[in-house]
Structure 1
Amino acid sequence: MIVEDQALLAMELELVLGESGCDIVGCAMDQLSAFAIAGRENPDLALIDVNLLDGMTGPRIAQRLVAEHGTAVVFLTANPEQIPEGFAGALGAVSKPFDEQTIRAVVDFARQFIQHRTLGEPPRRFRLAPWLSTPPDEIAPH
């Protein structure tokens, strides 16, 4: 699932994710659309911008997707200082601008976490969430 209010960037992400073997279940530009897609599709992974059409709602979306759907979340943001302390349950963040290689690596990292609840080596330009610095045997599934 992609939550991004810049249409061209959302389309680029959709292309890169599709080429990486992901099934895109939907693209949202705001909180309401994101919750509708999540309720209908129950996504495994969501790439979420912090600032959307309806303001700085990305962290709220992330928190709800993690809590209600067990979704693995990665923030995409040009303003990393706006990511809340604790990352709202997200795995980490990638700063904009980013390249295709970074997105592919982040997807692979997230897949490993989703499938095995283990952490691989964090990709370059990926800021790991502080809660993931807990020893791996203490990470409980959501």
Structure 2
Amino acid sequence: METVNETGAGSVPSGSEPVRFGTRIAVLLRDDLRPWQRLNVTAFLVSGLGSAVPEVVGEPYEDADGTAYLPMFRQPVLVFEGGGQTLTAAHGRALSRALPVAVFTADLFATGNDRDNRAAVRAVHRDRLDLVGLAVHGPRNAVDKVLKGARMHP
């Protein structure tokens, strides 16, 4: 007999307890992005969390032949969507809770490198950022409060 794990994806052998995480990794995307933008923004945002919060990264992978692969997050990444006001509110709540947060603004679609990306964000005051996405990590209940009003990405 098998039971479904916490994320609903895959299964764990009966008798093994599913892994429960006290923290959550979440990405919030603006709901008017094109599909390629959603994927691009998500990839950029989670890369920030992996470098700033190293404990979310697990051990390297290895296949049965001994081929080594890079480590990945040790827990699921939940992806949500919402309108611009939802993103602005979530951004403020994440900052007020001092949670690690990565941002992606509409201006970054027009840049082509890290230096210009950072300059584009630096040029705009926090309350005027044209946010298209953010990623956040923290205790489950705190992240849930940050994401109030957002819905799971379809």
- Bin for the TM-score computed over the shorter chain: 0.3 to 0.5
Structure with the higher helix share, 1 or 2: 1
* Bigger Rg, structure 1 or 2: 2
Structure with the higher strand share, 1 or 2: 2
User: TM-score, normalised to structure 1's length?
Assistant: 0.36
Q: Which has the higher contact order (CA 8 A, sep 6+)?
A: 2
User: TM-score, normalised to structure 2's length?
Assistant: 0.33
